[in-house]
Amino acid sequence: MPLGIQRRIDAELERITRRPLRGAWMGAAVVTLVVTVIAGLLMRLTDPHSFPNIWLGLWWAVQTTTTVGYGDVVPASALGRVIAAFVMVVGLGFITVSTAAITSAFLEAARRRRAATTTDSVAEEVRELRHQMELLTAEVRAVRGANGSERAS
């Protein structure tokens, strides 16, 4: 592999690892888009009677990828149906990755809020305990002072 391409791939992987949530979603989106376009083109080639023009093939691919599936056009050939099955799985995968990415973002935000709240409440407890220790120390000194003056008399 040429060095320039390898560097570009390494840089892209580094960017994805810095923000894995966004990287996963973007990767799934790109794969879904590419599969949708290729499937639309392949439908026109493999099933020309059902898909008389490229635009109808692309329309079918979009509705299949998004799992809408109106049923206005469907592949009739065996190869067309195999392609359709693949497109459906890719569409479901994209929905799954998107759902997981959104869920992960919500969970991370909740974890951060909880950590901030926990840290704040622990710090407040430490301040309260410190205050109580100061009061007890002052009380012990007062008792010792009183006992010391009683012994002296």
Q: Are 118 and 53 in contact (CB under 8 A)?
A: no
Phi and psi angles of residue 51, each rounded to the nearest 5 degrees, phi first: -125, 80
Average pLDDT for the chain = 84
Residue 80's CATH number: 1.10.287.70
pLDDT digits (tens, 9 = 90+) for 21-37: 777 777 778 888 999 99
Q: Is 42 exposed, middle or buried (0-12, 13-18, 19+ CB in 10 A)?
A: buried
As a 3-state breakdown, the chain gives helix, strand, coil percent values, each rounded to 5, of 85, 0, 15
Residue 31: which domain range? 3-113
Percentage of the chain surpassing pLDDT 70?
92
Tally of structural domains, the chain: 1
Chain centroid offset of residue 140 CA: 56
Give whole-number Cα distances, 69 to 73, 84, 91, in Å. 9, 11, 11
Banded pLDDT at 109 (limits 50, 70, 90) = confident
Banded pLDDT at 149 (limits 50, 70, 90) = low
75: in domain: yes
124: in domain: no
| Average of per-residue pLDDT across 101-116 | 80
129: in domain: no
